[in-house]
Chain A
């Protein structure tokens, strides 16, 4: 008796089987592995870039905050009363407190965060923010108390390009102050552009007398301190920590990152479908080889093991290649697009790519899993086939009368539709993505039924030449075969069309919205904290050619320390004809005596501020407002509220304005009025004001939009390329597998040319079927993206716009690619003699 037979004892035969197939069809395996590699590369690259961006954002937050246990932060850039400082310093659980003035500043063209510190207090609470002077090496002393000195972090120094000892002009809060670079901030990590000066100089020279922006706190008992501080803080200050601010960055970009991750995983899913296609075709081709081995005594599991082992090899090679390519892609993306991939979430935060071994392992595992699952399904089918029948009848088992089941597809589609309507989890559209996956599976499961239904009228009557009839009847009789070839194509086409429809809808909505909100003739905006004081506003309003000047104030307002700040926009009360405020909902009635505000759509969805609700905002010590309406806003993802400028001034005492919309008198020339307006500005303010025409702003906004979707476009393009590669691979594999059939047809009298026509027709029909199914499914998926994923991720709604040109181009490209591939593969398949082809066993 020989050794105990089984899977393990038959490993030599399995090895020969797999090795032989690989030697004979290396290109098939390589293409399949590449499909996995593309998915893994995209997923890993996006993850690395996101991780690196968050890490650098985190580092930037810590760079500006020092290493304080806790901070008391102003809810807006107006700051809070400095008399809060002694009360915080003596609160329960607090050991020490360091007052900080924090301003957005500019030195030359470089943006820096300017901190005014009490050096003695900061040395105890946030020592990493203490400068080291060029003369004093001990860190405290020398120039640190000098009111004309500034200390710069290494990154700030690099960006400015100045040397130690040089005098630079620091612009902040509308003031320009010359300061000497007295030293560096060695405790601030690279990537953070920070400048530190003495707090008294900051308050005095930058017009912040009596105001503070932050109190850094050292605590003995964190819980006690947080409890005590919560009780004594006014409405315009909140308790925060470095972790909370990191969460802010995380919350701001999370939806974007998750969506990119999902897109990358979609590419991987497509790769999985392509593995399924390729392995299914390979299994069909080798059906008789497997049947022979089963007859010779290989167990059913041996067939499964052989096909799955191929899947494992495809997965290992594909995932390995994908990780290497993903790291390279991440590096290139950070170089070209920045750490936020062009979306603008982490402006100014420099990012470097750090290899993440656990993430690498995770993506390797996902790639491997996709390849294994893609192989396991055909492997099970291969093992289930009766060996005796397969040995006799392989290739002749089609029954055109067999009905194609529609209900599995319908069930999956229905379930997907219902699941996608479920609410988000932790502000993430988890069910939306699950619903999309189910819809995708349903759509692909429905392809055989769709192909049969599409071809039934053509198959029922004799149309065209014999080759054309043969082509139609083959596909009509074997819709499952076509579906196997098509599943990867349908998946990638559907997802590409869904994304294209969503982006087209979004871009169209933004374009329309810009047309509404940019209805003035000119726009003025200050930078580096400068503002239009009342005198300047009066001067500007009297400019010849100006019919109306509406000044506004815009500042960030922190509602919760761990959530992104919202934008507070103070403008003259909007009237009914105000096109700049696109109202999408109004309150029926408002409570008397409560000032009105208008909230943006994201603010409504994020905070539940519905029309008619009374809410409290942290301005003027905490004021109640009634929500008068909801306006469309595609500019501020974190939300925005609009308040009447007069009410704002009354509540905050802030008389400054930093933006204005200009309506010209009829017949006035915009360029001439721009010159006149600029001439009326004081010399100090002139360089800090931008005057722009709406067309420029619109162009700029759409450029930003396209930039933020650049990665999406790239992922889409890759998805369609993978799909087209799938068309080529599957069509050629299917065609080559039918060599004997072609030999028989040539015996019957069909010429090579006629066979070519038949194959091209088949290819075109398969491609067109795939394109139509993919487009239909893509339009369904786009509705989930537009009405579920987008509102739940970004809190924006929009109407659907169908990118007709893209649909036509995709259908044409797929049909053409499939026809050409089938034709080329057909040439190869018919190149041997007809006699040889019929005699060939395999």
Chain B
């Protein structure tokens, strides 16, 4: 049975101040459980596209819909709510808050919607076990290596069972061996939960884990042969 389309992008265009246009007429569909990697040269607008998909930036024209909800029709509060409940994020620079325990870091998306701290931390602990960091929840970011930090970030991105995961160079700060382990973990976890994932990367090795690899150019997304 084919998975339903979760993310739909239609005729998206974005320019930056000056004569340059980042991209135009960009179309994309991502199904639930599918992982899509987007590659492209520096400055082509990969991160900007990710920000538009997250509702953190606005396109000049075009439309983005997540689970049928068109982002352009939502106000800032509704977009914030959508992000909070349906989207998970993984960043290149991890962004693990140094003054929260690892368990609290993972539980943050849950704590943003519920005051039940015990339940949130229990779910976070389970997620830490899933990413191979069981029993480390009381530790802090300074105790971990780069690979471990990114695993915590993946746990945080998945803990609230989002429909869509957006990852910006998730292995950019990791050595190839660690990157490979983290990516496998990320892909398995996303697929297990039926989440769609869009991953921006420069690395062919990272892109290899995806179901589809697309290259972003000024004319839109071009499928790359594998």
Contact = CB atoms under 8 A, between A and B. Distances in A.
Contacts of B100: 16-17, 20
A739 B222 CA distance: 42
Nearest to B81: A5
A544 interface: no
A293 B108 contact: yes
Contact of A297 (B80, B91, B98, B99): B80
Q: Which of B83, B117, B160 has the most CB of A within 10 A?
A: B83
Interface stretch (A387-395, A630-638, A716-724, A811-819): A387-395
A13 interface: yes
Contacts, number: 103
B95 interface: yes
B112 A9 contact: yes
A298 B114 contact: no
Nearest to B117: A12
Interface string B86-120: 01010101111111100010001101111111001
Contacts of A16: 100, 104, 108, 111
A5 to B, nearest CB: 5
A5 B80 CA distance: 9
A391 B115 contact: no
Given A20-B99, A841-B93, A296 B115 contact: no
Can you list the 4 inter-chain pairs with the closest CB atoms, starting with the nearest?
Answer: A297-B84, A20-B99, A13-B111, A12-B111
A564 to B, nearest CB: 60
Nearest to B157: A296
A259 to B, nearest CB: 45
Contact of B99 (A21, A296, A386): A21
Contacts of B141: 841
A300 B76 contact: yes
A297 B87 CA distance: 9
A312 B67 CA distance: 41
Nearest to B77: A299
B84 A5 contact: yes
Contact of B56 (A1, A10, A21, A388): A388
Contacts of B98: 24, 841-842
Contacts of A296: 83-84, 89, 108-109, 112, 156
A11 interface: yes
B47 A392 contact: yes
B57 interface: yes
Contacts of B76: 299-300
A154 interface: no
- The residue among A1, A9, A13 with the most chain B CB atoms within 10 A of its own CB is A13
A599 to B, nearest CB: 69
B84 A20 contact: no
A297 B115 contact: no
Given A16-B108, A387-B56, A3 B113 contact: yes
Contacts of B104: 16, 20
A666 to B, nearest CB: 83
A16 B110 CA distance: 12
A342 to B, nearest CB: 48
Contacts of A300: 76, 80
Interface string B67-84: 000000000110011011
B97 A297 contact: no
5 contacts: A2-B113, A12-B120, A16-B100, A296-B89, A299-B77
A5 B94 contact: no
Given A12-B111, A388-B57, A841 B94 contact: yes
A401 interface: no
A842 B5 CA distance: 37
A386 B77 CA distance: 15
B54 interface: yes
B180 interface: no
A1 to B, nearest CB: 7
B215 interface: no
B8 interface: no
Contacts of A2: 85, 113-114, 160
Given A295-B56, A296-B112, A392-B47, A288 B85 contact: no
B217 interface: no
Nearest to A386: B56
Interface in A292-329: 292-300
Nearest to A21: B99
A299 B156 CA distance: 18
Contacts of B83: 295-297
A23 interface: yes
A289 interface: yes
A284 to B, nearest CB: 16
Given A2-B113, A5-B113, A842-B98, A13 B81 contact: no
A297 B112 contact: yes
